[in-house]
Chains A and B, each alone.
Chain A
Amino acid sequence: MKIKPLQIVAHIILIIGVLLMVLPIWISFASSTHENVSILTEGMRFTLGDQFSRNYNEVLNEKGGWSEEVTAAKMFINSFIMALGIATLKVAISAMSAYALVYYRFKLAVPIFWLIFITLLVPLEVRIFPSYKIVSDLGLTNSYTGLILPLVASATATFFFRQFYKTIPDELLESAKLDGANAWSFFIDFLVPLSKTMIAAMFIFMFVYGYSQYLWPLIMTTAEEYWTVVMGMKIIYTESYEGVALPRTAERFAYIILSMIPPVLVVVFLQKWFIKGLIQTEK
């Protein structure tokens, strides 16, 4: 096979892209396996050091925070629960509301859809004080429910599900009806399996969104046991940084690398559905 010049150019561009994506992660990982001193004196590393187990052990098990109670491991779990809750509920709620908007032809469906869409202009950060007031009035501060609930409505996902459902031919619904399907079984037996690629994609986006929340958990939680990863990144190693000790750069890198694992796991796990959806181009 002859390689065309254009192909070479394309590959060079792709390789540069891959390097841009991978290098920062590699540098973080390599640096996280060195001693703090050597990073301080010699800068970031491209090669692996010999402090892997010490640094990672330290990060996972060291108790941090003001009262020295919360470990990084606990924060990963908190964030994972929060992100999982947000992603699951977001996908479920938006799929169902899109179903209602597309298949129940009541007059207000279109205005309601636009109303939902407009909420894109009002992200949590804008409505953070009213949201906090409501959540605290309900006594939900310092709880997983409080962390998750205000974030579960999603205009974006509703929009995508709505567009997808609109492409499903009417005959499918009619035929299912004649086969005795009711509103609920049509949703579960048809729309959910037909949109599973979409559900997987939405779930991943929403998981990452939930996982990277910073402001809301920061305001919501006073108890350290509900701290999340992104908060920890800011808080957990601050004191030693400002003290006389060396900045703990290596441990921070280890923390960053560890914090990437839950979202990566989600992607790896759901990838199967993605690929399935891509291979079987149905319809």
Chain B
Amino acid sequence: MSFLDLKNVTKIYPNGTKAVHETSLSVDEGEFMVFVGPSGCGKSTLLRMVAGLEDITEGDINLDGKLINEVDPSERDVAMVFQNYALYPHMNVYNNLAYGLKNRGIDKETIEQKVNDAAKLLQISDFLQRKPSMLSGGQRQRVAMGRAIVRNPKIFLFDEPLSNLDAKLRIQMRLEIKKLQQKVGVTSIFVTHDQVEAMTLADRLAVINDGIIEQLGTPIEIYNNPKSLFVAGFIGSPQMNFLDANLNNKTLSAENFEIKNIDSDYNGEVTLGIRPEHLIETENGLINLKVELVEQLGSDNLVYGQIKNIKDFCYRSPGNQTIKKGDTLSLNIEENKYFIFDKSTGKRVN
């Protein structure tokens, strides 16, 4: 059994909403697990069941070898960082950090020691006497982290803690969270709907859709080998291009090109997925792209255009190329870098 074990966990809210369906998942000690998925897919619900803030309708959750289904949140020894931080507005930063320790009956000197250590680690030592209302968003974020770290819990739970920060700060805090987690080594679950955040933070990633874990794996595994149309579309930025096609006798026929010798025995209507970064410009390529819009990012360009009737097809070209609106590019797909999905079920077939 691993450190955190979810077995067939289901959540049905009193109003009948089924938020999580028979989910099983194991998280190893010290691992950084990320739940990613669109809004309303049940990420928070799953996390809150681990924290004990929601009852478990069915299934078992084990933490550190102990069944915790019925254990009160105050006894679970988990720490959570909320999206809006939920700092205690009437306590100064010091007491925000110390409160959980006080409740454990830890003596004053030890508390002071621990709070000061955590404050130093998070660079909030200068604000210890301030109330949360006198801090900036980033500083509040750190205090919320500090409150989790100072207790040295069994597991950290993060529910979209970065979504209230501006873009730059978000990237910076993302980095710091990762570094901090590696330093402290505490098992963590991080919930986000931002796939870049998910990719950069995760040791392993659970892509959740509609209350089900669609795929579980390392970020690279999931990027290289998405098992379903949903995962393929969700992971990767800019998004994967999807084209309708037909697969017959190992030959794929799309709107105006064909790919032969496909490694699949499936016959029927399919969706072909190609990542923008897996295209290369060549002479007499498979695909002719009529350029409509170019986004220059400096390091590379995002080229959007049309292939016959398909709009907004994206190609990622190296930054040193000059491509203009109206150009027609001839593109090839990198060797075997395409994904074929059953059109009706969304399952990968190649």
A→B interface (CB under 8 Å): 169, 171-172, 174-182, 185, 189-190, 193-194, 280-283
Contact = CB atoms under 8 A, between A and B. Distances in A.
B104 A180 contact: yes
Interface of B: 51-53, 72-76, 78-80, 82, 84, 86, 88-90, 99-100, 103-104, 131, 133, 147, 151
Which of A175, A177, A281 has the most chain B CB atoms inside 10 A of its CB? A175
Nearest to B82: A171
Contacts of B74: 177-182
B80 A175 contact: yes
Contacts of A180: 74-75, 100, 103-104
B82 A185 contact: no
A180 to B, nearest CB: 4
B115 to A, nearest CB: 13
B133 A280 contact: yes
B147 A282 contact: no
Given A178-B74, A194-B90, A282-B90, A169 B79 contact: no
Nearest to B87: A175
26 contacts: A171-B84, A171-B86, A172-B86, A174-B73, A174-B80, A174-B82, A175-B80, A175-B82, A175-B147, A176-B99, A177-B74, A178-B51, A178-B74, A178-B76, A178-B80, A178-B100, A179-B147, A179-B151, A180-B74, A180-B75, A185-B103, A193-B90, A281-B133, A282-B89, A282-B90, A283-B89
A283 B103 CA distance: 23
A199 to B, nearest CB: 13
A282 B99 contact: no
Contacts of A178: 51-53, 73-74, 76, 78-80, 100
A185 B88 CA distance: 14
A172 B88 contact: yes
Nearest to B100: A179
A189 B99 contact: yes
A185 B131 CA distance: 20
